[in-house]
Structure 1
């Protein structure tokens, strides 16, 4: 028995006969092909709204006038490392990223810093150094749980050092695990907009850190765009009942926070 080549595909099927919904939404924690877009951005001119507040927190370290060691986890093209060295040239700045292409680009653009390929989820891949300040900027939202990455990050903080995280966080005791994708893309479900609660961080950090503080900035004053960026999944200011938040073209909105952890 034969069937006609003109038989319509089942709902949700691609031209190859594979359902869009068959794509696995649980990708390797933290790794996203979308981050290769940073290869198209010049780290010498890239300026993110959270760079200045993070450096202010880092420079408030009790030894801020010394030659501090700073490690940026998820360094992408090295833009934050460049930002730090321009303002704190005596600091020893390094970065790690899971994507080799980004590490190569950062190393070429910023030879005065040190970059290496490593996954914060894989302890054996991490550099042996400990830093006075360890940053993870927007990276926390890439993970579904804290236990797969945060213990390894805290172990890279030197005695009396600090970690600074920046990303979506929820002051209410509700956690959100999220995946987004471009409907016209290849069907890849992307992590990067998870919103874990302050209570979840509190529970995790108890017994693992000396102290920690959450800082919820007024995103309206940070310089985020108000119009639609070229990238539908990039953050922009949106109106919410309790004031401006960040959001993207999916309709998702989220509150951002700096988390300062002293170990």
Structure 2
């Protein structure tokens, strides 16, 4: 038998004679997200903001007033982007980290921001929204059941929810943890890649319709060279063209999931 001692992580005993990995269950909260405090939301324009807003606005009139909630709003960059282009919209944001909510409130005073956990229904706003967005955070969770039911409940009948994050067009799901070797013992969630088939099974019977949109990688504004942060995404070659990846060797498609209530 091959020697597996050096290749396997140090497991933790459960007290039941079963060994489990030491990483924690993914619940969306990550200490590394405090890095958004060092970024100015007034000058942050991620290329996927445009496609997400286009899906959120749909065929509605430009002067129409809509209520939008950004789940996992971080420093408020997307809220600011929306308000600059749809000033009649009522834009709100929630995040689980109070420091980010404070930063968003200070930088985007036209928006409304509050601390809430999408996995904890009792913490969420009681109102319903015409548009609900969740950008990059879908990959923070191990299961759609943890958070997506709450996103749909926050979406008003006739409204739309738009997600942006890693998605697999092939029928394979990936649950992943990464860490900075030699620097931290914390295994970080945030690169899970669930498949369209898994979304199909979840959404069937819950929404009127849904669709998947894969923007061209070259238009997303990610660098083609390795960034200073090894866990940050960059463009990498793949057999089917280009994908995003990081220093772990993981590659993934990024896509928007458009869901109509």
Q: Distance in 1 between matches of 2:40 and 2:114?
A: 19
Q: Distance in 1 between matches of 2:35 and 2:183?
A: 15
Q: Distance in 1 between matches of 2:227 and 2:133?
A: 26
Q: Distance in 1 between matches of 2:215 and 2:162?
A: 14
Structure 1 pair 149–61 and aligned structure 2 pair: CA distance change class (3 A)? farther
Deviation at 1:159, TM superposition (A): 1.3
Q: Distance in 1 between matches of 2:225 and 2:114?
A: 35
Contact 2:69 2:133 in 1 (8 A): yes
Q: Distance in 2 between matches of 1:209 and 1:67?
A: 23
Name 1:54's counterpart in structure 2.
Answer: 52
Q: After TM superposition, list the pairs within 5 Å mapping 1:231-250 onto structure 2.
A: 231-250=229-248
1:75 alignment partner, SS class: coil
Deviation at 1:185, TM superposition (A): 2.1
Deviations 1:198-231 (A, max 9, x none): 0000000011000000011111122211112221
Larger Rg: 1
Q: After TM superposition, list the pairs within 5 Å mapping 1:109-188 onto structure 2.
A: 109-188=107-186
Aligned residues: 248
Q: Distance in 2 between matches of 1:169 and 1:82?
A: 26
1:224 to 198, 222, 243: 222
1:44 alignment partner, SS class: helix
Q: Distance in 2 between matches of 1:93 and 1:62?
A: 16
In structure 1, runs of 5+ residues without a counterpart are 1-10, 13-18
RMSD: 1.8
Structure 1 pair 213–125 and aligned structure 2 pair: CA distance change class (3 A)? same
In structure 2, runs of 5+ residues without a counterpart are 1-5, 13-20
Contact 2:26 2:189 in 1 (8 A): no
Q: Distance in 1 between matches of 2:10 and 2:78?
A: 36
Deviations 1:160-189 (A, max 9, x none): 000000111111111000000001322100
Name 1:209's counterpart in structure 2.
Answer: 207
Name 2:18's counterpart in structure 1.
Answer: none
Q: Distance in 2 between matches of 1:247 and 1:143?
A: 18
Contact 2:62 2:86 in 1 (8 A): no
Contact 2:26 2:141 in 1 (8 A): no
Contact 1:20 1:187 in 2 (8 A): no
Q: Distance in 2 between matches of 1:190 and 1:74?
A: 17
